[in-house]
Amino acid sequence: MKFTLVLLFTLTVGLSAAFLRRSDAVAPDAVQDVSQRGPVHMIRFVISEDGLYPRRMQVDHGLLNVVLDDKTGKSEALLIDSLTGDQRTRVNQVSRGLNQQRGRALVRLPPGRYLISDSNQPNHTAELIVNP
């Protein structure tokens, strides 16, 4: 009985202390920043020997969590180019970690058309459309 009460008291105090530490660690500014960012859309591109998939993707504007999944083990990065008419402008890239198959980056893209390509095989491309 004494052991059970001590254990229960320890768990209750430990959980309360953990909750207080966690809530103290979140600054009010950080909460505001999250609400101003809005939702995060996760999109994933897979590089394989025969291309980049999906070949075409359409998402709503906002913050994007772009994931690179390299099945070849040869690619260094996904390149993100803005398409305006016949002009291409590099806006970002998603690199994979050293000796890792995946990489990711948080990217905010304004509405428009984008060309996604494999840095090692530029003919492997996909189209990303960001809606207004």
Count of structural domains, the chain: 2
pLDDT at 122 over 60: yes
| Token code pair at residue 123 | 């003919």
What's the CATH number where 106 sits?
2.60.40.420
Residue 68 sits in the same domain as residue 19: no
Residue 66 sits in the same domain as residue 106: yes
Q: Are 96 and 78 in contact (CB under 8 A)?
A: no
> What is the reported pLDDT for 77?
94
Q: How far apart are CA 114 and CA 81, in angstroms?
A: 5
Residue 19 sits in the same domain as residue 58: no
pLDDT at 70 over 80: yes
Residue 66 sits in the same domain as residue 121: yes
Percent of the chain with pLDDT over 90: 61
Residue 113 sits in the same domain as residue 79: yes
Domain housing 11 = 2-34
Residue 90 sits in the same domain as residue 120: yes
Residue 72 sits in the same domain as residue 95: yes
Dihedral sign for Cα atoms in the order 86, 88, 94, 96: positive
Number of neighbouring beta carbons within 10 Å of residue 75 = 21
Q: How far apart are CA 52 and CA 18, in angstroms?
A: 45
Residue 45 sits in the same domain as residue 27: no
> What is the reported pLDDT for 36?
52
- Nearest C-alpha neighbor of 55 from the set 109, 120, 125: 125
Q: 3-state DSSP call for residue 74?
A: coil
Residue 30 sits in the same domain as residue 56: no
pLDDT digit string, tens, across residues 100-111: 999 999 999 999
Residue 66 sits in the same domain as residue 110: yes
Higher pLDDT, 46 or 96: 46
